[in-house]
Structure 1
Amino acid sequence: MADALVSAVLQQLTAVVYRDIEKEVTLVVDVRKEAQKLKTTLQTLQAVLMDAEKRQVKEAAVKLWLEKLKATSYDMDDLIDDWNTFVLKFQVPNNKVCFCMPSPCFFFRKIVLHHDFAVNIRDLNKRFQAIAIEKDMFSFELNRGSGEPERPVTTSFIDVSEIYGRDQEKNAIIRTLLFENSQQQGLPIISVVGMGGIGKTTLAQLAYNDQEVKAFFEKRIWVCVSDPFDEIRVAKAILEALTGEAPSVAELESLLQKIHLSIERKKFLLVLDDVWTEDPTKWESLKHSLKCVTPGSKVLITTRKENVAKIMESTMLFPLGQLYEEECWSLFSQVALFGRPGGDRKGLEEIGKKIAKKCKGLPLAAKVLGGLLRFKKSKEQWQSVLDSELWELEEVEKGLFPPLLLSYYDLPSTLRQCFAYCALFIKDSVIEKDKLIKLWMAQGFFRGMLHKEMELIGEECFDDLAMRSFFQDFQKDENNNSVMKCKMHDIVHDFAQFLTKNECLMLAMEVVKEPSRIDSYNGNLRHLVMVLEKESPFPSYIYNVERLRSLLIKSYNKNSSISRALPKLFDQLKCLRSLDLSWGSIKELPKEIVKLINLRYLKLSNNHDLLESPETLCDLYNLQTLDLTRCRRLQKLPSGIGKLLNLRHLDNWETFGLRSMPKGMRRLTCLRSLKEVVVSDGCNGNKTFTLGDLANLSYLRGDLKIQGLGNAGDVTEGRKAKLHNKKDLFGLTLNFDSSTARMCLEDMILEALQPPGNVERLEIRCFNGPILFPSWLNSSALAQLRHLTLGNCRNWTLLPPLGELPSLESLQISNMNGVKKVGEEFLGLRKEEGQTSTPSSSSPMIAFPNLKSLRFSNMVKWKHWINCEIPSTGVAEMDNAIMPQLQSLDLQSCGKLKALPHYLLGLTSLKELSVDWCPVLAEYCQKEWPNISRIPNIRLDGVYVQRSSH
C-alpha cells in the first residue's frame, strides 16, 4: 500500500508544481522549489518500496519504517488536497472569492495561504528526508522484491488418506479427463480456479494419481510452473518427464521440437500447476508444439486467476469452492487432535468445532490452525485462539498469509489499495459493487488515470479482483447479468485486516465505550466503521481521531445520539473523504458540514425525517457522491447546488417530498448518475430546473426517472432535453402527472422525448394525452428494448403495436381504463382506426419474437382478447408465430376479461399462468381445463392448481 500511496502523492505534487493556473493562484517561487525537492525525495523512496513492502512480513523494523512513511504520505496528501480545494474555488461561478479585480485584502489572504503552504511543505519535506536517511539502515534493493514469500514447489505425490472432502469435484474432473471424442478439435484445456489455499493443487494431485487416469494416458507429466513463467524451464521439465533424461539443449526451439517428436501419436496428460502469467505469448509456442497428440489428450492447469484460464483458452473451467463444514472439521481435527488420548479429545472437540468454523471451508486455514493447536494442551489455550482475531495470531501470519501475500504482491499498486480498503467492510457482509467503487474514488485511488473515467476504472479494478478470487458469492443483475453485490471469504477479509491493522478499525456496539483500541493506533487510524445500536451513546473519543479519512457509521433502530454529535464531528474530522450517516435519524444536517472541505462521498440515505440540506453543503467543492436515497420527507435541495462542479452521482431515489429542483442543477455537467429528475414548467424557469435543462447533463448513464412531465411547459422543453443523445442511458421512466390542464400537449411532449436507441428498460406512466402513439415506439427506434412498462395511460383505447419490438422480453401493462379489447393492433400486424403510427414496412413474421413474461393488471374495462392469425407472407407458415418464447402470463384484476386467445393456449413454451381477481376468466379456465392443464404451473386466485384436480 505504501507504494500506491507514495505514487499518488507524487502525481498530486507534480500537478501542483507544473499546473498552469490563473495568475491569482500560481505558486510562489519558494513553494515551487520546496515541492521540487520533495518530489526528488519521494522518487528516491519509491525506488525501494517494492522490496520494503515484501520484507515487512518478516522484519518488524521495516514494518515500522513503512508505517512512518505512510503516515507522512497521508499528511502530504491532505496538504495537497487543501491547496487543490483552494484552487477549485476559483473555478466555481459566482463564488465570492473570485473577482475580476481582486481587493487588497484578497491579495493579503492569498499571500498568507502561500506562506502557510510553504511552511507546511517545508516541514513535510524534512520528515520525508529523515525517512529517506533511515532507509539506508535496511540495505533495500532497488525495484526488486527479495523478501517475497517463498513460492512452494509442488509435486504430483499425495497421501490420499490425509485428504478430506472434494469427492464431488474430484469425480467431475476425472470424468472430464477420461472423456474421449474422436472428433476432438484442438487440445482440451481444463482449468481449476480458486483462491490461494483452497486446495487446487490437492485436487489436481488426486486426479493425476487416480488409477483410471493412470491407465487411460500413455504419458503423464506434472510441472510446477509458478511465477515467472519461464518457457525454457517448463519445456525442459516436460521433456525430462517424457524421456527420463535431463535435456542437454538450452534453446526453446530445440526443446519444443524434441517434445513434439516425443508425444507424437501418444495420448498424454499435462498438468501445469500454479500458473500466474497473463501473457499469452508465454504459452503459445508450447501449445503449438502439443497439437500433434492423439484424441483424448488433455492439459490440466491450476491458477488463482480466472483471466489466466481465459488467456490459455480453457475449454472447461472448474471454480473451486470451500469445503463443507464437516469436511473442514475432519481435516482440522486430524491435525489438531493427532495422537491425543480419547479423554483429551472429548474435552477439546466442542471448542475445536467452533475454531474450525472460523476456517470457513479453507483447507489451508484448517491445516494451519490445526498445526497451531496440536501442541496446545489446555482448554484455556484453545479458548484463547477461538477468542482471537485470526489476523492477530503470529502463527497464522506466518503459515496462512504467505500464500495470500503472493496473490497480493501480484496486484498492481492501485489494486493493492483497492483490496486493502475492503477491510473496512464488516466480515461476511454483502458488499455493493457500486458503493465500493464510489468509496475507492473518494479515497483518490484513481487519480492520475486520465485516459478513462473513474467509474470505468473502478469497474475494471473490481472485475480484476473478482477474477483473482478475492471476492465470491456474487449476486447478479437479472437484466444484464452484471455483478451487483458480492462477499469476501472470511480468511481473505482477515488478510485485508492484517494488511491494514494500523489504519482500519471496526468498532462493534459492545466495544464503542472502550477508547483503548483507538489509542493503540497512535494517530495512524485512517478508516473507521462504527456500529451503534439504538441506546448506544456516540463515543466522544472519536472526535480526537482527527486524521480519519473514512467514517462509516452503521446505525440501527434510530440511534438519536448521531444527530447530536454531528456539529462537533464536522468541526474536528476535517480530513474525511468518505462519510456514511445512513439510517442516522437525522432531521437537520448542521451547517458545520462546510468544514469537511475534502469530503467526496456523503451518504445520507434512509434518514426519513430529513427535510432539507444546508446551503453550506454546496461549498464542498470536492464532493463526488451525494446519496439521498429514501430521504422521503426531503422537500428541497440547496439552491446553490450548482457549485458542486465535481458531483458525479446524485442518488435521490424515493425522495417523494421533492416537488422541484434548483436551477443550478443544470451546471452539474459532471453528473454520471441522477436517479430522479423533478421538472417544473417554464413559468418559474429562472429558479427551478426545467425539462430543457436536461440537455446540459450529457453524461448521464444507467437509469433515469423523469417526474412531473405534466408540468413540462410546452413541446420545446421536450425537444431541448435531447434525450436521444444520452447514449449511456439504459433505463428511462417518463412519468406524467394526474392533472388534465395540459393533456392536449402531452402527446407532443411524449413525441419529443425520444429515448436513446440503445435503451433497454422503458416505463411510461400517468400519460393523459390522446391515443396518439409516439412515432419512436417501433422496432427501428427501440431495437434494444428488453423491458417495457405502460401504466395509467387513461385515454388510450387501443394498445400500441408492441409486437414489432424485436428484443422485448418482459411487458407489463396496467390501469389502462379505456381499453376494452386487445387485437391485431397489439401484435403490430395492421393499422387501426385512430392509430397514426404504422408498422414498419419490414414487419416481422413473428409477433413478440423474444417475449418471455407478459403481465396485465387492473384493466377494468377489458373484455375481449381477440384471436389473431399472422397474415400469409408467401413463405411456409410457421408454428408459434405469436409470442413463441412466452414463459409466464400473469393476469390480475381484469374483472371483465372473458377468454384467452387460442394462440396462447397452444404455446409449448408457456410454463406459468397466474389468474387473480379475474372472476369471469377464472370460470373460463375451469371450462377450458383440458386445453389449459398442460401448463406446468397454474395459479387461480392465489392457489396453485394441480393437474389432477380436474
Structure 2
Amino acid sequence: MSVIGEAALSGFLELLWGRLLDSALNFVADHKQVQQQLKQWQSILPDIQAVLNDAEEKQIRNKGVRNWLEDLQDLAYDMDDILDEFAYEELRLALLKTQAQASISKVRKLIPTCCTSSNFSPTSFLFNNSMIPKMKEITARLDSLTTRRNSLGLSEILSQGATSKGKKPRLQPTSVVDEAVEYVGRDDEKRKMLDLLKSNNSNGVFVLSIVGMGGMGKTTLAQLVYNDASTKESFDHRAWVCVSDEFDAVNITKTILQSITSDPCAYNDLNLLQVKLKEKLSGKKCLLVLDDIWNESYEDWTILRSLFGAGTKIIVTTHIQNVSSNVDPVKAFHLDKLSHDDCLSIFTQHALKARNFNGHLQFKEVGENIVRRCNGLPLAAKAIGSLLRTVKDLGEWEKIYESEIWDLPEDQCGILPALRLSYHHLPPQLKRCFAYCSIFPKDYEFQKEEIILLWRAEGFLQLKLKGQIKDPGNQYFQDLASRGNMLQIGG
C-alpha cells in the first residue's frame, strides 16, 4: 500500500469513528435493525484501528497483511458511502421539517395521506429495502477482517502521535538557515568553498558543484556558504533558486531577477527576461545558488550559463554526477557520510536540545543505536531526532530502533527509510494532511491559509469529538511545520 493509501486509511477510520459517535445513531434511534448494525461497527472498528500501526509496518514484508490493509481501505470507503446516505436523508428530512413549520397546511398537501398516519416513519422504506442488506454485508466484512487480523498476528501498537500531544511532498528549500541549530560535520568543505569564492578569476563563469546522495546535506552546505558574512561582503548581488526536476529557464531567470531587484517581475518572455538580467548584472559581482538540479541536458545548461559573465559565481547542488560534469565546475565537492559523533550531535540537538546524552543518560544506549542506523546521513539523524523530540518514554525510543522500516531499501519506497519511519509515526490526523500535499507539483509554494482551506474541504478538520482544539487546521500546520524534515525533504 502506498504512503498516500496508508494516510487515507488512517484518516478514514478516524473520521468514520467520529461520524459514528455523532448523529447517525440519533437519526435512526427508532430503527432497531439499523441501530444494531451501527453498534456492531462501533464495537469492531476500534479493535481494527488499534492494530493499524502494526499492519502498516508489517505489510512491508508480508503480502497477506498488505492485502488485509487494501481490503480494509475498500471497506472504509463503503462505510463512508452509507454514512453519506444517512447525512443526505437527515438533511432532506430536516428541510421538510423546516418547510412544515413555515406552512403546515402546505406540507400536508405534499405528503400522501398514507404517510400522515401516526405510524409513519420516513426512513423505514429506505432502510428496509436498501440500507439493511448493505449494512449487514459490511458487518460481515468487518467480522472477517477481525478474524484475519488475529490469524496474521497483528497486535496493538500506539503511534508516537498517540502517546505524545497530537511524486514526494515537500516545501521549497530556501537560502534561510535555522539560527537555533549548530551545524556540524561540513566545516572543511565550507572553508574550502569560501576560499574558492574569494579567489579572483577573469575567465568567465565560475562554478562549484556539491554532489551527494539524498539526505547527505548538500542544500545545508550551500545555505551555510550563501549566508556566511564574508560571502555577503564579497558580492553585490546574491540569488537562490530551487531548480528541482523541472528545469524551467523562464522561471529560473525570473527568480534570479526578482532576487536581485527585490521587485516582482511580470515578464514571461525569456528573451526579455535575459536582457533585463544582463543589464542588472553588468559590472556587478553575483553569487547564484542553483539548488537540487536534476536536468542532465547540457544544452539547457549552456542556455542558462550564457546569461552570466566574469564576476558571476555559481554553486550547483545535485545528486546526479552527470549534472556536475555538465556544469564543468572548478571544483566538485563530493559529500561523504558524517562521522558517528557528528550524526550523534545532530540527533541530540533535535531530540533533546543538547549536544550529547550527558543530561539524558537513560536514552544514551538506545539513542546511540538509533544514530548508527542513520548510517551517517544528517537528514536521517534530523528526521528521527525531530520525531522523538517530545517522547520521554524509553519504550517508544526502543520501538523506533527495532522498527522493520529501517531494513526497507530506499529504492523500494522512494525515500530514505528514516524519513518513512518519521512519517509512519505521525498521528493519523497529520498523516492524511501531509499526504494530501502530494497532489501538488514538486516544490510548489502554497500559503498556510490555502492548504488549511483545502484540508477543511476534504473533511480532514471536521472531527466533532469532545476536547477538540478550536482551530485544528492551524494546529495541524504548526505540528507539521515543527517537523521540518517532513515538510522539506531535501539533500
How high is the TM-score relative to the length of structure 2? 0.49
- Higher-Rg structure is 1
Q: Which has the higher contact order (CA 8 A, sep 6+)?
A: 2
Please state which structure has a larger fraction of its residues in strand. Answer: 1
Please state which structure has a larger fraction of its residues in helix. Answer: 2
How high is the TM-score relative to the length of structure 1? 0.26
